[in-house]
Structure 1
């Protein structure tokens, strides 16, 4: 009788061990709370997203439309379109937003100022800056010497990009050109209208807006192409970037499945925007980012992308290094650590 009981006890323990080694999915949802780092659950979570009017928001319009149509059930997405980064950053830092599309250098500033409380998920916009004029005087970067350039974006990507290209072409931005800084891109468009010989640095879609008001305005230089020309003989190459998508580090750690879901859907949205300009332009107009007419012409020139992983880190770290070498404060005082760059 003792042998039978012992045998039954062994079998019971063996069965318990097998149950413990079974698939985790069979045990229901899992939440890791004691570390505060990870929470995985099949229950949809709220994902609050913001983007700025312009290319950073344009890439999201298909995802926004899918959400509004009720076609997305995986997570509870909500979107805000803001006029400036000043509207977005406080909400992100205070935890009122989870994900945001922001200027590339601002992502590093936030990382440094919050001591690592944000991570970059993707590069979402390459260079969108252009030199435009009413005439034919500018055929190369060297032709900018001695000119007056209307521009906006002082203290951010436009200023650093322009200064870098001028210096790489042997010019001192402080003495070889005159840069009249405006508070908004629309002021540059107005300045061009009042100055027949004027030159301006504008991003898309404001280039298209300016050309709509004055068809004589010509794109003289694509600053992304000019930047690339300066990289030909450099050992450490960089790319001109405009925008990235960042997220609160706490949100990334707590909801990894939601982050993966967002990146997958966002990449699909970007593919749609780049493949079907007409339909994308309708959505851009629908969400009042810019008018459908402007979007239809501007979208092919907006360099909207969704670059993630190692390539994202390579592109962004190279760009931030250029800014750091020019002015460390432009990226928050120091280059971000590897933990800044999200990887699945």
Structure 2
């Protein structure tokens, strides 16, 4: 009997060990399947079509663009960049799906969101205030001095127009009757008009201020519109800042390619940091891509207020800016303030 019990005990222990080994094998198989699933779930590389305006928005991307062209980016996506002279070239391509991501004027992002019923999201702020009033003479010392003047400007229907209108009206000047604004289709046309008019006054962003000064050393910056905006905000409980540009994406593209969007933002942020910290090298790239000449870029880059702001900070700054524009003219932001889904959250 004792012998039989011993045999049964050994058989039971052996079975237990075999079951244990079998369990470990199953766990190992499960872990292997999980790892395989993770690899399978990794998004396939996609082609990302990007557009930027000829100015600070494109200047912040030059390192990104160059790395893409040289094949030194760490992600596997393919990027196609296009630099446009005006927002009118960008809008239809974004709406029609020919562009996936684009750098546009801050207010235009809101207009697109409203006009497409939420088919556009803002990813990040890329440019702060870069607008200036310049002249050859010495007639403008304050915003009030613009009354009765003729101002060459471009950017009608976008940030430049509404920023200028806000500053004029806040200083007691009616933009419709107290000044004459001659709208040009591109900033370069304003530079040309200024060169042909010794007494001319123009509203220009960098780097076009520097371009104008290289053609006429007598041109001086009379007003920094960012400073003028800040003066108006003094004493207000809810303050806003003057913003120039943002990066937007098609909502469908964001939903379908979340990893590609994250990779784009990582690359763009690194590019902005590089441009702000390496003026000489960045200027060469700006010249390489024909945005402005290398010499102009060397002087202009530190004054272009190129930045990268995303997440909650982006939402706070941009929503405040759009609220100011809405109070002035609801049409400037597409008729209504965007809802929360307008702001991309990382």
When the two structures are superposed, what TM-score results if normalisation uses the length of structure 2? Answer: 0.89
Counting only pairs closer than 5 Å after superposition, residues 191-210 of structure 1 correspond to structure 2 as 191-210=193-212
**Separation in structure 2 between the aligned mates of residue 83 and residue 254 of structure 1, nearest angstrom:** 29
Structure 2 match to 1:109: 111
Q: Tell me, which stretches of 5 or more residues in structure 1 are unaligned?
A: 32-39
The farther-off stretch of 11-20 and 168-177 is 11-20
Question: Alpha-carbon deviations, 1:111-137, whole Å to 9, x = none?
Answer: 111111111110001111100011222
Structure 2 match to 1:47: 48
The farther-off stretch of 240-249 and 196-205 is 196-205
Counting only pairs closer than 5 Å after superposition, residues 239-278 of structure 1 correspond to structure 2 as 239-278=241-280
Q: Which has the larger radius of gyration?
A: 2
Structure 2 match to 1:29: 39
Residues 204/26 of structure 1: CA separation in 2 closer, same or farther (3 Å cut): same
Structure 2 match to 1:34: none
Structure 1 match to 2:3: none
Match of 1:88 among 65, 90, 96: 90
Following superposition, the deviation at residue 268 of structure 1 comes to: 0.8
Give the RMSD, CA atoms, in angstroms.
2.5
**Separation in structure 1 between the aligned mates of residue 163 and residue 64 of structure 2, nearest angstrom:** 30
Residues 291/231 of structure 1: CA separation in 2 closer, same or farther (3 Å cut): same
Following superposition, the deviation at residue 243 of structure 1 comes to: 0.9
Q: Tell me, which stretches of 5 or more residues in structure 2 are unaligned?
A: 1-7
The alignment of Structure 1 onto Structure 2 pairs a total of residues equal to 335
Counting only pairs closer than 5 Å after superposition, residues 58-69 of structure 1 correspond to structure 2 as 58-69=59-70
Match of 1:163 among 162, 165, 176: 165
**Separation in structure 1 between the aligned mates of residue 50 and residue 325 of structure 2, nearest angstrom:** 27
* Secondary structure of residue in 2 paired with 1:233: coil
Match of 2:78 among 73, 76, 79: 76
8 Å contact from structure 1 (residues 61, 269) kept in 2: yes
**Is the aligned partner of 1:177 residue 2:179?**
yes
**Separation in structure 1 between the aligned mates of residue 121 and residue 83 of structure 2, nearest angstrom:** 20
**Separation in structure 2 between the aligned mates of residue 339 and residue 132 of structure 1, nearest angstrom:** 39
* Secondary structure of residue in 1 paired with 2:244: strand
